[in-house]
Structure 1
Amino acid sequence: MTAASVAPAPTPAAAPALSFPRVVRGEWIKISTLRSTWWSLAITAALTVGVALLFARAMRGPADGGIEAAVSSVQFTMLLAGILGAISVTGEYSTGTMRSSLTAVPVRGSLLAAKAIVVVTLVFAASVVIVVIATFAVSPIVDARDHPIHWHEPSESWLPLLAAAFSMSVFALIGLSLGFVLRSGAGAIAAAVGLLFVLPIVVSLLNDVEMTWLRVVGSHLPMPASQNLILPQSDWGLEWPVALVTLCAWVAGGLTAAWVTLRARDA
């Protein structure tokens, strides 16, 4: 057989690029098959309903509103949302599966966007269902205490509920961003706890100190901003449009930092 009669070996076909909807579907499969995801949501539901019932029973003054009891748990469940967002990323880094993810989706911005979409959709949808359940759970108590929920007034019913679910989504995206930046489950969780819970407490303890800039910074932290968005106050904090912009800015800044880090480092 002559050399001229030998057929050249076929060139292996390149793997087809994943479309963005398929990337999103893949991220949904990842997060929905983790037991930690459903445990986090179950604990969030139990804590939300439990705290709502406690707040409803503790209502005394005329200034209290029935809807306040239903959304009061956000100041506790925010940590669960942040942790859920963080472990959706750091779990892949700890097991090494992030390398496979980046091999399948070489456009790193697409991977980040897909993860963010899946996390925010899951947390927002679950939070809406949970706070609605909590609202109906406390309704008999607040009705009996003459603090009924006025469903015909959006500002006293649906808007606070949606704002609470939106805030939970923001906390989850902050946790997700910290997961990409720090790549460590313990580090991302500690940073989320510090930013969402510890730092607002420290700032509130220093309210008596004559430092105007500290009060301004404190009011723009994620947790105080979410409180002003959920239940707008006329005597302290941010106006609700400013609070909304502030939360969006935290998300934008966090995702930008995550994108820069993801592009600059190897898995």
Structure 2
Amino acid sequence: MTTLTAPPAHATRAASAHRLTFGHLIRSEGIKLVSLRSTWWSLGIAAALSVGISMMIAAASSSFGPEFPAVSAILTPTQFTMLVAGILGAIAITGEYSTGMIRSTLTADPRRGTVLAAKAVVVSALMAATTVVMYAIAILATSPLLSEQIDWSDAAQSWIPLAYGVLSMVAFTLIGLGWGFLVRNGAGAIAATVGLLFVLPIVTSMFAMAGEAWQWIVDLGEYLPMAAASTISTPGAEDVLPALLALIGWVAVLLVGGWAVLRTRDA
């Protein structure tokens, strides 16, 4: 009978020594993400929506009156591009579960929290960079069409809302990633992401017609991700801290939930 023995200590140390560093893991996750056709389709659709809708709004800006902030032409498309951002975050992980690649990922680095963190950093960096480029293109494309130009000397009417817009797009992407880790199914994660970002705000707003007794639902709706993002990215907005904390809270809850599921379930 063959006797099973534990691996020698030097073998265990060797395996630990070959564990990927966080930098190598970031590089690996980046290569995986940018090699997917779905990534470039998602980013391309987001860019087309952002620039196209911005140009339409800018062309009609003379009808909105002098109170319309010019930078809103750049930020308004977020109501549509948020869905693309969330879906990108979801498929960044669910694709690995559908192909079985997640097992290779966790074999290369069994520190599951580190794997989640690396994916979050990569999708955040890619979405932030893409959003900056989208905004830059939209600004150049809409400049000849705007009835009034963006006042770059006024940070509250220009740089600050745009920075919050970038932050919001990153948050939407991480929300999708969190749902992806929780659900581990592409269709389910996308449905949950769309439901939270798009459907729930519509449902809560409908209660505004139901009278004072249901006003509390409308008030809670102000802390949903899209409403919170809209609040912080509104030009000249004051007291944005509650909305900012709400947006960060959604991201934190979903990522921590995804981490808990990743730790306790088999790949």
TM-score between the two structures when normalised by the length of structure 1: 0.90
1:93 deviation in Å?
0.1
1:68 aligns with 2:72: yes
Q: In the alignment, which residue of structure 2 is the partner of 1:253?
A: 253
1:165 deviation in Å?
1.0
1:226 aligns with 2:232: no
Of 46, 53, 56, the residue aligned with 1:54 is 56
1:139 deviation in Å?
1.1
Q: Output aligned runs, 1:95-134, within 5 Å.
A: 95-134=99-138
Whether the 8 Å CA contact 1:233–1:239 is kept in 2: the answer is no
Residues in 1 aligned to 2:235 and 2:207: alpha-carbon distance in whole angstroms:
23
The one-letter code of the counterpart of 1:89 is: I
1:180 aligns with 2:175: no
Q: In the alignment, which residue of structure 2 is the partner of 1:215?
A: 218
RMSD: 1.5
1:169 deviation in Å?
0.3
Residues in 2 aligned to 1:157 and 1:43: alpha-carbon distance in whole angstroms:
25
Whether the 8 Å CA contact 1:232–1:240 is kept in 2: the answer is no
1:12 deviation in Å?
6.3
Residues in 2 aligned to 1:183 and 1:88: alpha-carbon distance in whole angstroms:
11
Residues in 2 aligned to 1:233 and 1:182: alpha-carbon distance in whole angstroms:
38
Of 122, 139, 144, the residue aligned with 1:135 is 139
Residues in 2 aligned to 1:122 and 1:213: alpha-carbon distance in whole angstroms:
37
Structure 2, unpaired ranges of 5+: 1-9
Residues in 2 aligned to 1:132 and 1:208: alpha-carbon distance in whole angstroms:
39
1:216 deviation in Å?
2.1
The one-letter code of the counterpart of 2:231 is: N
What SS does structure 1 have at the residue aligned with 2:258? helix
TM-score between the two structures when normalised by the length of structure 2: 0.90
1:220 deviation in Å?
0.1
State which structure, 1 or 2, has the greater radius of gyration over its C-alpha atoms: 1
Residues in 2 aligned to 1:202 and 1:57: alpha-carbon distance in whole angstroms:
31
Whether the 8 Å CA contact 1:66–1:139 is kept in 2: the answer is no
1:212 deviation in Å?
3.0
What SS does structure 2 have at the residue aligned with 1:160? helix
1:97 deviation in Å?
0.6
Of 20, 25, 28, the residue aligned with 2:27 is 25
Aligned residues: 251
